Amino acid sequence: MKKTAFITGATSGIGRASAEKLAEAGFRIIVSARRTDKLEEFAGSLREKGYEVLTLTFDVRDREACRKAVENLPEDWSGIDLLVNNAGLALGLEPEYEGDFTDWDTMIDTNIKGLLNMTRFIVPGMVARDSGQVINIGSVAGDAAYGGGNVYCATKAAVKTITDGLRIDLAHTSVRVTNIKPGLVETDFSRVRFHGDSERAENVYKGIKPLTGDDIADVVVFAATAPAHVQIAEVLVLATHQGSGSVICRTE
């Protein structure tokens, strides 16, 4: 029987690429996002290729919606083998003392609480079956702060420690836990960060060949398909001319 993967934030970027590549690798796919239209459009493209897909529209910030989504899964989809906590975002690049309270709340509620919500409702089933894996999409930003990154960096540092803590809590089981930390990836990330300012977003990637969503999805599949006794605990993935979260050599 095929394994089932649940991917949050699946309609764009790393989430979309991960869903596609996991489907190619033989997983059945549960994809979730906030917008039904984009979700169904994506699911339709996967079904056209013959993949099994289930869609769920909800916001990971809404704990009750997360609970209902998991508890009301069709019986034959309820045994989730892989949870990819991908939903997340950065908003703003202001100094901390000028930060926007709404942006802060959105990042904390999505990047930290949303990840915890999904983990709390799905992992108990994995423990009961003594089988499964959680892959959290962290960031190089979680290793060290950079100018203007303050709260976003803090949320990704939290993802690292939450992931490490979960791995420790599950060490007596066969459930594996992975933190994948991308560097500069060209997706909608910067456009969202700058509230739709496409020109400002494009400047982030000028002078360097950034990673793509597919590059990170390849790592997701690698970790998910490793032998059962192998736990890929943490992977840092940077563009070739990126030395850290704040060191980028623009050569082009």
pLDDT of residue 252: 62
pLDDT score of 83 more than 90: yes
What is the band of 16 on the pLDDT scale with cuts at 50, 70, 90? very high
pLDDT of residue 183: 96
Percent of the chain with pLDDT strictly greater than 70: 100
What digits encode the pLDDT tens for the residues 103-131?
Answer: 999 999 999 999 999 999 999 999 999 99
Percent of the chain with pLDDT strictly greater than 90: 90
Average pLDDT over residues 229-249: 95
Q: What is the mean pLDDT of the chain?
A: 96
Cβ neighbours of residue 18 closer than 8 Å, sequence gap 6 or more: 7, 10, 84, 86, 213, 216, 217, 220, 221
39 has which bridge partners? Answer: none
pLDDT of residue 142: 97
| Least trusted range by pLDDT, from 10-24, 32-46, 160-174, 179-193 | 179-193
- Rounded to a whole number of angstroms, the CA Rg of the chain reads 17
pLDDT of residue 32: 97
- Taking phi over 0 as left and psi of -120 to 50 as alpha, with beta for the rest, 196 belongs to left
Question: DSSP 3-state assignment of 53?
Answer: strand
pLDDT score of 189 more than 90: no
pLDDT of residue 173: 98
pTM recorded for the entire structure = 0.96
Count of alpha carbons within 13 Å of 227, Cβ hemisphere only?
2
pLDDT of residue 191: 80
pLDDT of residue 187: 86
Nearest to 31 by CA among 45, 41, 43, 22: 43
pLDDT of residue 251: 82
Question: DSSP 3-state assignment of 43?
Answer: helix
CA distance 98 to 127: 43
Question: Which positions are annotated as active-site residues?
Answer: 152
Domains annotated for the chain, with CATH where assigned, are: 4-237 (3.40.50.720)
CA distance 233 to 223: 9
Average pLDDT over residues 52-77: 97
Structural contact between residues 136 and 179, judged by C-beta atoms closer than 8 angstroms: yes
